[in-house]
Amino acid sequence: MLFYFFSVIITMYYYRVGETSMEPKKQILLLTTGGTIASAPNGDGLAPRRSDIMAHDLQRLREYYEITVEDIMCLDSSNIRPEEWQQMARVIFDRYPSYDGIVVSHGTDTMAYTASALTFMLPNIPIPVVFTGSQVPLTQALSDGPDNLRTAFAMAACGHGGVFVAFDRKVMRGCRAVKVRASGFSAFESINARYAGRVTGRGLELDARMLPDCTGAPALRDALSKDVFLLKLTPGLSPDIFYALAQMGYKGIVLEAFGLGGVNVLGQGLSGIQKAVELGISVVITTQCLYDSADLRVYQVGNQLLELGVIQGRDMTSEAAMTKLMWALGQGMDQQQIAQLFSQSLAGEITLN
């Protein structure tokens, strides 16, 4: 009990913004990419604008931080593709030596994909790279944007490297974040991992256990493959889908299976997966349940799959599994190397035991 008490004490600590006026302001770069946070009505719905629309909200933050703003794209995040992830990763890698932290404003719809992808593309990034956005545009009186920006800037100034998502006063690892609400303010959850930080009455309360180890050499590893398909299993799904995906040239499939990793094996159920694996496609099995882990060793149907050579995605989010596979294929890894890679945690994206 006593041990538990002390372990909690040493793992939680607080970061307060502007605690002493003697401290020089932290240099924070804001990269804007669009999204609701910077949107305004356009006649046919909300459309993103450039950063001038954020000027009023940034003014207040300038009391605490030295802020540089760079508009790198102006997109609804539904339109953000792997090419844009590469553009963001390159800009971040180029600029990071000049800043204490980087905030990336981004649409919420695909933020979890971008944050996961950049986690793998920017190993050991030594400064915080913090994604944020909002459900209601900054231009509206009751926007959640100002609050999200405050949390993101506090995280960006905290001095701990890694890629994070800050939203609704919570900070999570980029590779664990999932958008769970289409319009509610608590839009993101950290799946199967504690929050890296929370805003409390004491400031930004950080959990040291959830801060990535970024002590290795920082690198830009931005090659990605787009030949990865995310497939949700449904009862009675035809195995032909796997043949079709192979024919279309896919090199990787993330299969969201049932519960602990169940897959329909009756009839021709497994034949499609078997063919895909034989053709050299890496098939990663995750669960379509949001929480907990796929474990193929529990049921007979799962063990049959393991014998075919599928890869366990365990408790990874589909976004993390998908982007890790895109990244691994982009790095030129073969089926065996990819299986090996998925048995390792690169940035806390998977729980191994």
Which residues are known to be catalytic? 36
Binding ligand ASP by CB under 6 A: which of 86, 105, 135, 148? 135
Question: 62: phi > 0 → left, psi -120 to 50 → alpha, else beta; which?
Answer: alpha
Q: Does 143 bind ligand ASP (CB under 6 A)?
A: no
Tell me the DSSP string of 287-300.
Answer: ESSSSS---TTSSH
Select from 49, 35, 30 the least CA-distant residue to 77: 35
**Which lies closer to ligand ASP via its Cβ, residue 77 or residue 192?**
77
Based on CB atoms, which residue is closest to ligand ASP, 48 or 330?
A: 48
CB of 168 to ligand ASP, least distance (A): 12
- Range 179-182 contact pairs with CB under 8 angstroms and sequence separation of 24 or more: 179/108, 179/109, 179/111, 179/112, 180/290, 181/135
Instruction: Report, in Å, the least distance between residue 35 CB and ligand ASP.
Output: 4
3-class state of residue 139 by DSSP: coil
Question: Considering only 76-84, 119-127, 272-280, 316-324, which stretch makes contact with ligand ASP by CB under 6 A?
Answer: 76-84
CA–centroid distance for 31 within its chain: 17
What binding mask, one character per residue, do residues 279-308 give for ligand ASP by CB under 6 A, x or -? ------------------------------
Residues in 171-230 that interact with ligand ASP by CB under 6 A? none
**Binding span for ligand ASP by CB under 6 A among 107-115, 122-130, 253-261, 264-272:** 107-115
Nearest approach, Cβ of residue 138 and ligand ASP (Å):
11
- Interface segment toward ligand ASP; rule CB under 6 A; list 74-82, 93-101, 318-326, 336-344: 74-82
Q: Is 107 in the site for ligand ASP (CB under 6 A)?
A: yes
Q: Could you say which of 84, 100, 109, 222 contacts ligand ASP (CB under 6 A)?
A: 109
Dihedral sign (CA 103, 106, 108, 114): negative
Kindly give the pairing relationship between strand 128-132 and strand 162-167. Answer: parallel
Among 86, 108, 119, 323, binds ligand ASP (CB under 6 A): 108
User: Is there binding between residue 35 and ligand ASP (CB under 6 A)?
Assistant: yes
Whole-angstrom distance, CA of residue 41 vs CA of residue 47: 6
Nearer CB in complex with ligand ASP: 135/190 = 135
Residue with nearest beta carbon to ligand ASP: 107
286 sits in which H/E element: strand 282-287
36: three-class secondary structure by DSSP = helix
Contact mark string toward ligand ASP, 250..279, x via CB under 6 A: ------------------------------
- Helices marked H in the chain: 2-11, 55-61, 82-95, 111-121, 145-156, 240-247, 271-278, 300-308, 318-330, 335-341
Of 133, 212, 239, 261, the one binding ligand ASP (CB under 6 A) is: 133
Based on the shown chain and the rule CB under 6 A, indicate whether residue 36 belongs to the binding site for ligand ASP: yes
Q: Distance of alpha carbon 99 from its chain centroid, rounded?
A: 22
What number of chain residues touch ligand ASP (CB under 6 A)? 10
Q: Which residue has the tokens 């319009």?
A: 183
Nearest approach, Cβ of residue 135 and ligand ASP (Å)? 5
* CA separation for the pair 232, 255 (Å, rounded): 6
- Among 52, 122, 54, CA closest to 87: 122
Q: For ligand ASP, which is the closer residue by CB, 166 or 246?
A: 166
Q: Which of residues 77-96 bind ligand ASP (CB under 6 A)?
A: 77-78
- Contact set with ligand ASP (CB under 6 A): 35-36, 76-78, 107-109, 133, 135
